[in-house]
Amino acid sequence: MDSSLHEVWQAAAGSPFVPTVGKSSQFLVAFILLLLGFSLGGAFALNRSVVNLPVLAVPAALALAFGVVYMFCAVGVYV
Amino acid sequence: MKTSAVFSTFLSLLSLGSAASSERKSSSTSTTLPATFKPPQVFKNSNLVHVISVEKNYVKENINVLIENIDKTAQDEYFVPFTADQMSRLGGVEVKDRKDSSAGPFIAEAVEFDQESDIQYLRIRFPKPLAPGASQTLGITYYLLKAYKPLPASIKQEEQQYLFFSFSAYCPSAYTTSKQKTEVKFPTSNIPDYTKLPGSGDVKEFPQKQGSKLTYGPFDEKPAGATQPVSVRFEFNKPVTHVSRLERDIEVSHWGGNVAFEERYTLHHRGANLSALFNRVKWQQAQYYQPNTFALKEMKFPLRVGSADAYYTDVIGNVSTSRFRSNKREALLEIKPRYPVFGGWKYPFTIGWNSDAKNFLRKTATGGFVLNVPFLEGPRQQEGVEYEQVQVRVILPEGAENVKYHTTIPTQSIIEAGVEIHRTYLDTLGRTALVIKARNLLDDFRGRELTVTYDYPLMASLRKPLVIFGSAMAVFVGAWVVGNLELKFATRK
């Protein structure tokens, strides 16, 4: 045990942890990202080509990735 | 690249594991001495006041003693004897200098010398040695759990409960005591039975009774190890709540900006059993004309301001008899067990709640994070609550490393601490979990702090979206590859 940790806590009083996306906007952000992800994914599914991999699939996968994480949080499973 | 990332994370986990094992060693609260050990007679207790409080459902004892070093050399170790049975139920030992509160920390630890011996010792190490002939006033506070027996052992549900407690009228000490007295404080003045002893001086008979207090003594000089068994039986018409196991989880989420708490209680009532079957009609009637009962019917959990989404469940599922009031000033969770808990009955249940991370988590100047949470929350009951085994698990985000902790709980109560891996939703490697096991704690310690610092690299925080990104890309690329496969028979040109 390190008794200096309490001082670390006191010293950090001015910088509370604030997440990138607040709890109140998690659902909206997650929903938009998932909608975007599925739309782009759907567009890629209709027109599969090497060009569309970076143009549609990569943004779709990114939107899905962050959308899924935020949707987990939005429904109360704080991952 | 992924393989190297996995490998480096595995290495960091290994280092966490080794840190944990070193923690285990350092947090050990006992030392070993030879089996023939006897505390050297280097002190004399000039004056000793032993205050035993049986007001709550655990015993709180306070020994205020003026000690004098009668040896020729400076001494820094004082021993307090306990029976082996008491030692297993002893908790929350704290020692202070009564006259100088700024005197450094007194370290109290159990001494292991002979497992078979009925007398075990607690060793108190002074911050600085006491010079020959010098005196010091020690204030030794400790608690004993599972201290009472109901007498009668079974009563009707509308009857009053009485508890039986035995102790020594002479304070057990490893040194000669010149002058001492023992005060016993009760919850009410209704004390039907107590052992009487022949008095000394002006007093014909001990104890002297003043309201809800009994005083044995003052006694004249007693040798080391002198005991005088006495017992008391007193009214205690309140539940004797005993939590045999409390599992408390604190889960930190950086993505969600949330700290989630969950507490799982295995609660017992150690009071008088019912002598007849439980009668619901009588119980319901008694709620109006005699609401005072020894059954446990309600618990109040004052939570930190800002707590939200409270839940209360048991083995059957959600329990609807609860209220949660959360506003700017307070967050109070009031729960009623599914049934009134009488003596000998058990009620396991779970409560949980969320709070914004900003209330407990801060960023440090060095780029790490510091978490400050109460070690113990639990109910605040008039009759008190005792906890036999407590496991606090701080579940940090996946990939958190360099975990350090500090708690203001008495070190003698902590039996083990280490870092483990906890796996849950969206995890690939599992989350770093700091697990602290403690025993024999009381609700007096609710609100004592637990501070944890850790580092959380950016790549570790991006692990979850990256894993999902990788999976989604695999699906898209897979779809593209499968879509391009030519499965038809080629037509001859």
Residue appearing with tokens 């942890």: A17
Q: What whole-number distance in Å separates Cα of residue A27 and Cα of residue B3?
A: 34
- Determine the pLDDT at residue B31: 64
For residue B148, give the CATH number of its domain.
2.60.40.1730
Q: What whole-number distance in Å separates Cα of residue B294 and Cα of residue B352?
A: 27
* Cβ atoms of B378 and B371 closer than 8 Å: no
On whether residue B99 sits in a domain, the answer given is: yes
Confidence of residue B30 (pLDDT cuts 50, 70, 90): low
Residues of A in contact with B425 (CB under 8 A): 72, 77, 79
B26 to chain A: nearest residue by CA?
A: A1
- The answer to whether B484 contacts A62, with C-beta atoms less than 8 Å apart, is no
On whether residue B463 sits in a domain, the answer given is: no
- The answer to whether A19 contacts B372, with C-beta atoms less than 8 Å apart, is no
* Cβ atoms of B309 and B351 closer than 8 Å: no
* Shared-domain flag, residues B391 and B424: yes
Token representation of residue B104:
């450094």
pLDDT tens across B335-379, in order? 999 999 999 999 999 999 999 999 999 999 999 999 999 999 999
Q: What whole-number distance in Å separates Cα of residue B377 and Cα of residue B391?
A: 13
* Shared-domain flag, residues B83 and B22: no
Residues of B in contact with A13 (CB under 8 A): 362
On whether residue B54 sits in a domain, the answer given is: yes
Domain boundary residue among B181, B213, B235? B235
On whether residue B202 sits in a domain, the answer given is: yes
pLDDT tens across B149-204, in order? 999 999 999 999 999 999 999 999 999 999 999 999 999 999 999 999 998 878 88
Q: How many CB atoms lie within 10 A of CB B257?
A: 21
**Phi-psi bin for B430: left (phi > 0), alpha (psi -120 to 50), beta?**
left
Confidence of residue B289 (pLDDT cuts 50, 70, 90): confident
Which of B254, B307, B362 should we substitute to test contact with A (largest number of A Cβ atoms within 10 Å)?
B362
Residues of B in contact with A22 (CB under 8 A): 257
- The answer to whether A78 contacts B464, with C-beta atoms less than 8 Å apart, is no
Q: Nearest CA to CA, how far is B445 from chain A (Å)?
A: 17
Residues of B in contact with A8 (CB under 8 A): 364, 370, 451, 453
B466 touches chain A (CB under 8 A): yes
* Shared-domain flag, residues B105 and B205: yes
* Cβ atoms of B361 and B371 closer than 8 Å: yes
- The answer to whether B468 contacts A50, with C-beta atoms less than 8 Å apart, is no
Q: Nearest CA to CA, how far is A32 from chain B (Å)?
A: 16
Residues of A in contact with B404 (CB under 8 A): 2, 5
Supply the mean pLDDT for chain B: 90
* Shared-domain flag, residues B401 and B357: yes
- Determine the pLDDT at residue B16: 41
- The answer to whether A73 contacts B256, with C-beta atoms less than 8 Å apart, is yes
* Cβ atoms of B222 and B200 closer than 8 Å: no
On whether residue B201 sits in a domain, the answer given is: yes
Separate counts of helices (H) and strands (E) for chain A: 4, 0
Q: Is the pLDDT of residue B133 over 50?
A: yes
- Determine the pLDDT at residue B111: 85
- The answer to whether B472 contacts A65, with C-beta atoms less than 8 Å apart, is yes
Q: Is the pLDDT of residue B427 over 90?
A: yes
How far CA B10 is from CA of A53, B16, B422, B430, B458, in Å, comes to: 33, 10, 14, 11, 17
A19 to chain B: nearest residue by CA?
A: B257
Domain boundary residue among B188, B218, B235? B235
* Cβ atoms of B161 and B212 closer than 8 Å: no
Q: What whole-number distance in Å separates Cα of residue A77 and Cα of residue B234?
A: 49
- Among B156, B182, B209, B160, which residue's Cα sits nearest to residue B59? B182
Across the interface, of B362, B405, B472, the residue whose CB is closest to A1 is: B405
Q: Nearest CA to CA, how far is A33 from chain B (Å)?
A: 12
- Percent of chain B residues topping a pLDDT of 90: 79
- The answer to whether A23 contacts B309, with C-beta atoms less than 8 Å apart, is no
* Shared-domain flag, residues B114 and B161: yes
Q: What whole-number distance in Å separates Cα of residue B395 and Cα of residue B248?
A: 10
Q: Who contacts B350 (Cβ-Cβ below 8 Å, separation ≥6)?
A: B262, B263, B264, B265, B311, B312, B313, B314
Confidence of residue B10 (pLDDT cuts 50, 70, 90): very low
Residues of B in contact with A37 (CB under 8 A): 472
On whether residue B101 sits in a domain, the answer given is: yes
pLDDT tens across B260-269, in order? 999 999 999 9
How does pLDDT run along chain A (79 residues), one tens digit per residue? 677 888 999 999 999 999 999 999 999 999 999 999 999 999 999 999 999 999 999 999 999 999 999 999 999 999 9
* Shared-domain flag, residues B412 and B373: yes
Which of B451, B463, B464, B466 should we substitute to test contact with A (largest number of A Cβ atoms within 10 Å)?
B451
Token representation of residue B30:
């006992």
Token representation of residue B41:
């007679």
- The answer to whether B406 contacts A6, with C-beta atoms less than 8 Å apart, is yes
Q: Is the pLDDT of residue B114 over 80?
A: no
* Chain centre distance of CA B130: 32
Q: What whole-number distance in Å separates Cα of residue B408 and Cα of residue B85?
A: 26
- The answer to whether B484 contacts A53, with C-beta atoms less than 8 Å apart, is no
* Shared-domain flag, residues B220 and B332: no
Residues of B in contact with A16 (CB under 8 A): 357-359, 361-363
Tell me A13's DSSP state: G
* Shared-domain flag, residues B322 and B416: yes
- Total domain count, chain B: 2
Structural domain boundaries enclosing B444: 2-29+239-270+298-336+344-457
- Among B20, B33, B172, which residue's Cα sits nearest to residue B90? B172
* Cβ atoms of B293 and B287 closer than 8 Å: no
- Determine the pLDDT at residue B12: 45
Q: Who contacts B369 (Cβ-Cβ below 8 Å, separation ≥6)?
A: A17, B361, B362, B363, B400, B453, B454, B455, B456
**Beta pairing class for B162-168 and B229-235:** antiparallel
The helix/strand/coil state of B265 is strand
**Beta pairing class for B213-219 and B180-185:** antiparallel
B472 touches chain A (CB under 8 A): yes
Across the interface, of B363, B406, B468, the residue whose CB is closest to A15 is: B363
* Cβ atoms of B183 and B214 closer than 8 Å: yes
Residues 298-337 (B) with a CB less than 8 A from some CB of A: 309
Q: Is the pLDDT of residue B26 over 60?
A: no
Provide the angle, in degrees to the nearest 10, between the axes of the packed helices B463-484 and A58-74. Answer: 140
On whether residue B228 sits in a domain, the answer given is: yes
ipTM greater than cut 0.90: yes
Confidence of residue B17 (pLDDT cuts 50, 70, 90): very low
* Shared-domain flag, residues B181 and B55: yes
- Among B398, B395, B415, which residue's Cα sits nearest to residue B407? B415
* Shared-domain flag, residues B389 and B247: yes
B479 touches chain A (CB under 8 A): yes
On whether residue B208 sits in a domain, the answer given is: yes
Q: Is the pLDDT of residue B452 over 90?
A: yes
The helix/strand/coil state of B46 is strand
- Among B324, B288, B283, which residue's Cα sits nearest to residue B303? B324
Q: What whole-number distance in Å separates Cα of residue B348 and Cα of residue B330?
A: 26
* Shared-domain flag, residues B128 and B47: yes
Q: Who contacts A54 (Cβ-Cβ below 8 Å, separation ≥6)?
A: none
* Shared-domain flag, residues B96 and B231: yes
- Determine the pLDDT at residue B186: 96
Amino acid occupying residue A46: L
pLDDT tens across B292-329, in order? 899 999 999 999 999 999 999 999 999 999 999 999 99
